[in-house]
Amino acid sequence: MALTRRISSSIPHYFGFAERSFKSYKLPGGPSSSSSLTHGIHVFHCPDQVGIVAKLSECIASRGGNILGADIFVPEKKNVFYSRNEFLFDPVKWPREQMDEDFLNLSKLFSATRSVVRVPDLDPKFKIGILASKQDHCLVDLLHRWQEGRLPVEITCVISNHERGPNTHVIRFLERNNIPYHYLNTTKENKREGEILELVLDTDFLVLARYMQILSGNFLRTYGKDVINIHHGLLPSFKGGNPSKQIMLAGF
């Protein structure tokens, strides 16, 4: 198995990232043509130690699974291990309940703080809420990927701090697909966070599709679930608007 190590000494210098090591590898063999095989994803986060990759691989292989790709992230000078494995398996040979038990045993073995397994073809779809501001491109991209089946989630609502007219592309799309749209006018004094929380109460996570408002720490603690930010900013060195211009002005 070939292991490729990807480290750039210039990126941390330019963008202010802490220097870190990335490792990823692909195993030979693409998706099988057998209709009995199903795609699974496992995300793992635990204290770093020797043997984690071996045990994860053994767990999947012992049940007849085939790893298609794995991403591993181990920050330098931190005792933390992250991984994401994609694999094919036969649900008859590896029932969903048994899979949960196997990964739970691994989680206990390595004192994992996070161990999540998903089988998109078998598991209920995640419910998500999308927050967007004036510009549409990130929101439109998400909606089109969802429509094409490349984003296997249930979109419960779209919330925006900018009003969109009834005959706009986004509103027509949402109406055709019965996705509620909520306009909440925000000010510096009132970010309408209480109302947002009520609207996303039953979601599994939130996606900020270039939402140009900063969510407070109290909002994040109260929501208590993952929030994914899609934004053009190059954090932390070039935050805010026009990050490309900021980079040019900085001389890079």
Helix (H, G, I), strand (E, B) or coil at 137: helix
Q: Which residue has the tokens 């890079």?
A: 252
The pLDDT of residue 21: 38
Tens of pLDDT along the chain (252 residues) come to 333 333 333 323 322 333 333 344 444 444 444 458 999 999 999 999 999 999 999 999 999 999 999 999 998 888 999 999 999 999 999 999 999 999 999 999 999 999 999 998 899 999 999 999 999 999 999 999 999 988 889 999 999 999 998 889 999 999 999 999 999 999 989 999 999 999 999 999 999 999 989 899 999 999 999 999 876 666 667 776 777 788 788 776
Handedness of CA 65, 68, 74, 75 (dihedral sign): negative
Q: Which residue has the tokens 């990050």?
A: 243
3-state SS track over 12-34: HHHHCCCCCEEEEEECCCCCCCC
The pLDDT of residue 234: 62
- Give the Cα separation of 83 and 50 in Å (integer): 14
The pLDDT of residue 132: 96
Domain ranges of the chain: 38-118, 126-234
The pLDDT of residue 36: 86
Assigned architecture for domain 38-118: 2-Layer Sandwich (3.30)
The pLDDT of residue 34: 47
CATH superfamily, with its number, for domain 126-234? Formyl transferase, N-terminal domain (3.40.50.170)
The pLDDT of residue 231: 66
Please choose, from the candidates 117, 121, 140, the residue with its C-alpha nearest in 3D space to the C-alpha of residue 130: 140
**Phi and psi (nearest 5°) for 10?**
-85, -35
